[in-house]
Structure formats: structure tokens, C-alpha cells
């Protein structure tokens, strides 16, 4: 048997593929366009694995996707393919609309034709797992949690494009009967995360003696989810999730951005000490436009229906993550030298529009 994974050379996608081979001998066809954030080094441990078939291609390329479906006959499609960085979406929103909305539509359209041609038993077993984000729900106040019934209120081009993709996926279930299962996750962290994201950026800047930028006053709150816990949830959602349903995935680990940065500094003070404290490198910078104040996930539905629960606490997961970056310079050094050196992204020239997040 075979599954098709799109975006499987990215951060979450590659962790999912690695997790898949830890528990299954089924073939994985891995379709990835290898944009700046797609990295085959993430999958280096699978070199020589016969069951891993990598194809460089785009989910928007209908001919490519149709050919893969026809030749490999997957029992499931798991869609990670997306432009995912909020700051980049501020400067280049078109790429996000094209990949996240149009690309998802074309992948679903290919899946619809494939699904309709399957025999009855294969149709009953087939799933299309659409992986999304909690950012589609917008910003929470100081209390409450996002549930599967929360209203969509995206505030950035990134979250708007993911919201659009979610709606297309929902429509393909209700209109065409494609057995779509959608997941909305909180902020992921862990091995192989591209260095522009908060945790790897702060870790590597701290090690290199650079400033540690914190947006605004650092009080924006995120619910942090260990990427391997997320992948375990996706496995059960792909296997046992009910078509047409959505499942929220969260770590129940809320932290302010400043708390995250200070935690990384404290870990580095202990395991990578220098003459001064790492927190002395913290610099507060102008907030980004549309910066949502708080995200927090209620994962009760997934926990009760499918029996999943996050295993890693933030305190244990963040130390594992920091140690992973310290131990794997071979992985991040080429990215820092040639792709992204830690520069600020998402800065608008004056005048800036009103923001809808933190006041």
C-alpha cells in the first residue's frame, strides 16, 4: 500500500514522513517543490529506503499529480504543501494565495477524479488529510480556547490563504463526497524547523552572539506543540478520522513569546555558557502588522474520539529542541550561510495600515 504526502520535505512534513517509517512499511510518495523551506537534508536518514519515493513537483501541476495517483494508487493523500511564514506573507501574499488556495484546489480536484474511479472498498478506505493551522481563527482574548466550532477570522495573508484552503477542502467533502479530514494545529517546534521561525532563530542568534528580536512587548501568546506529538496526531487522524470532520491539535502549553525566548536563554546559559547571560541579547523590536495576540487550542475532540494526547511538555520539548540545534550545525549552517541569515522579514514601509492584533 502507498500514501501520497505533499510538502514532505518541509518541517512538519518531513517529521511526519520520518514518523511514518518508524511504524509502517507502506510506501510513501513524497511530492515537494523544494522551495527555500523544503530541504532533502531533513530526510537524510531515509537515503536508500526503497519505500520512500521522492518526486520534485508542484501540487498545482495537475498533470504531475494525476500521473502520481495513476501510477502509485495511494490509499491516502496527506497535504502539508503550503507557504507558511506570516512575515513572508506580508511582503509576498501572491505566493501564499497561489500555493495555499489554488494549489490545494488543484490537488483536491485531482483527488476527486482519482477517488471517483476507485472501487467501492477502496473508496471506503480512502482519506484526504488536509493539514491546517489555528491561525485561521484569528486572535483570542485573554481567556477561552479555539474549538472546531470557532469562527474563522484570519488577520494575515498567510492565515487568510490557509482559511481559503480549509473552505475549499470542506466544500469538496460536502459537494463531491471526497473524504476530507482537516486538522488545525497550534505552533509547532522541534527538529528541522527552518531558521526563520522564532525558536530556531533565537537559538542560533544566541549561539552566534546576535540580538534576539522580540516583537512588540513580547506578550503575544502561543500554544506550543512538539512536532512529533503533532505527527502522532496526524497519523490517527489519517487512519481513524471521520470524513468531513475537523480536529484541533494543540499542546496545552501556552507561553508568551518573551517567556519562550527567556526559556531558551536559560537553557543555553546552562548547556552552552558564555561570559554574559544570553538574555542580555534580547532586543524589543517594532511589532509586525496584524500580529494576533493569543492562540490556544482545545484538543478535547481529538483526545476523546481518537485517543490522542500530547506526550511532550513544553519544558522538556524546548530543551530537546535547543540541544538538537546545537548538535546539528551540519543541517542549519548551510541555511544560515546561503538561504536565510536571520534578517528581519515582514517590515512594511511607512505609512503602515492599522493592525488588528495587539493594541
Active site residues: 134-135, 158
Q: What angle do CA 349, 340, 197 make, to 5 degrees?
A: 80
Distance, in Å, from the CA atom of 198 to the CA atom of 189, rounded to the nearest integer, reads 9
Instruction: Name the DSSP letter for residue 73.
Output: -
Number of neighbours of residue 240 by Cβ within 10 angstroms = 13
Distance, in Å, from the CA atom of 332 to the CA atom of 339, rounded to the nearest integer, reads 10
Q: What angle do CA 21, 189, 275 make, to 5 degrees?
A: 125
List 183's β-bridge partners, or say none: 131, 247
Q: What angle do CA 30, 32, 34 make, to 5 degrees?
A: 140
Here the cell at position 325 is 540545534
User: CA distances (Å), 47 to each of 4, 41, 64, 98, 270, in order?
Assistant: 18, 10, 23, 31, 35
Among 306, 345, 91, CA closest to 215 = 345
Distance, in Å, from the CA atom of 256 to the CA atom of 220, rounded to the nearest integer, reads 5
Distance, in Å, from the CA atom of 53 to the CA atom of 40, rounded to the nearest integer, reads 12
Distance, in Å, from the CA atom of 28 to the CA atom of 344, rounded to the nearest integer, reads 36
Amino acid at each position: 500500500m502507498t500514501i501520497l504526502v505533499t510538502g514532505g520535505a518541509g518541517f512538519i512534513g518531513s517529521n511526519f514522513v520520518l514518523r511514518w517509517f518508524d511504524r509502517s512499511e507502506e510506501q510513501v510518495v513524497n511530492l515537494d517543490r523544494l522551495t527555500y523551506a523544503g530541504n532533502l537534508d531533513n530526510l537524510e536518514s531515509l537515503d536508500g529506503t526503497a519505500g520512500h519515493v521522492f518526486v520534485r513537483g508542484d501540487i498545482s501541476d495537475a498533470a504531475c499529480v494525476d500521473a502520481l495517483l495513476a501510477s502509485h494508487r495511494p490509499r491516502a493523500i496527506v497535504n502539508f504543501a503550503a507557504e507558511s511564514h506570516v512575515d513572508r506573507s506580508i511582503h509576498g501574499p501572491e505566493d501564499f494565495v497561489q500555493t495555499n488556495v489554488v494549489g490545494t484546489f488543484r490537488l483536491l480536484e485531482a483527488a476527486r477524479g482519482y477517488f471517483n474511479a476507485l472501487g467501492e472498498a477502496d473508496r471506503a478506505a480512502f482519506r484526504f488529510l488536509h493539514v491546517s493551522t489555528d491561525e485561521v481563527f484569528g486572535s483570542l482574548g485573554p481567556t477561552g480556547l479555539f474549538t472546531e466550532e470557532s469562527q474563522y477570522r484570519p488577520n494575515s495573508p498567510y492565515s487568510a490563504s490557509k482559511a481559503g484552503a480549509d473552505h475549499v477542502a470542506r466544500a469538496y467533502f460536502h459537494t463531491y463526497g471526497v473524504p476530507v479530514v482537516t486538522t488545525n494545529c497550534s505552533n509547532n517546534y522541534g527538529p528541522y524547523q527552518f531558521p526563520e521561525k522564532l525558536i530556531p532563530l533565537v537559538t542560533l542568534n544566541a549561539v552566534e552572539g546576535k540580538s534576539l528580536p522580540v516583537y512588540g512587548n513580547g506578550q503575544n501568546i502561543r500554544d506550543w506543540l512538539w512536532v512529533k506529538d503533532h505527527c502522532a496526531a496526524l497519523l490517527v487522524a489519517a487512519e481513524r478520522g471521520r470524513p468531513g470532520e475537523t480536529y484541533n491539535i494543540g499542546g496545552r502549553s501556552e507561553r508568551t513569546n518573551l517567556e519562550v525566548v527567556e526559556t531558551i536563554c536559560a537553557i543555553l546559559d546552562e548547556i552552552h555558557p558564555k561570559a554574559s547571560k544570553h538574555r542580555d541579547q534580547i532586543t524589543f523590536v517594532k511589532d509586525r502588522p496584524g500580529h494576533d495576540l493569543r492562540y490556544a487550542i482545545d484538543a478535547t475532540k481529538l483526545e476523546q474520539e481518537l485517543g490522542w494526547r500530547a506526550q511532550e511538555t513544553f519544558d522538556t520539548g524546548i530543551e530537546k529542541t535547543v540541544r538538537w540545534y546545537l548538535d546539528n550545525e551540519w543541517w542549519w549552517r548551510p541555511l544560515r550561510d546561503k538561504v536565510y541569515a536571520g534578517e528581519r522579514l515582514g517590515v512594511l514601509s511607512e505609512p503602515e495600515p492599522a493592525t488588528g492584533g495587539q493594541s
